[in-house]
Amino acid sequence: MTPGIPPTPVTQPPVLIYDGDCGFCTRAVLWLSEHAVPGVPVLPYQGEDLAAWGLSERRCTHEVVHVDAAGRLRGGVQGFAALLRGSPHRGWRAAGPLLPLPPLRWAALGVYRLIARNRHRMPGGTAACAVRRV
């Protein structure tokens, strides 16, 4: 098996895998799936066979992961950029290719890390949202 490529068929639609125990993360990805990328499945990692996706629990507790139709994994800011590139909405789709470019990438990485470390303090966040060491 090639690392990062799930052993499942590669004809799957793109999906976004996130920490379903985190209220903030759940609200954020549900908002994105409703407004930016309708129709893209958002899956809490807690209900998934992570090994089948080529993922670890450690990775999934620290970042959202986008899995494209070919099975490629992109996490964090790169995952959001890949997700947005598939949006049917022109504005969101235009943001996808721009997000990974410096200096926007540097700002996005900083904001992503700040939110990830403090997601238990964000609206909708609870103590369960705090990043755990695994």
Question: Domain spans of the chain?
Answer: 15-129
Coil, helix or strand for 26?
helix
Look at residues 31, 33, 27 and name the one whose alpha carbon lies nearest to residue 15. 33
The pLDDT, as a whole number, for residue 47 is: 93
**What is the four-CA torsion angle of 75, 117, 125, 22, rounded to 10 degrees?**
40
The pLDDT, as a whole number, for residue 134 is: 45
For residue 56, give the DSSP letter. -
The predicted-structure confidence for 96-121, as pLDDT tens digits, reads as follows: 999 999 999 999 999 988 988 888 78
Alpha-carbon span 11 to 33, nearest angstrom? 20
Cβ proximity of 6 and 71 under 8 Å: yes
What average pLDDT does the structure give for the chain?
86
Amino acid in the structure at residue 129: C
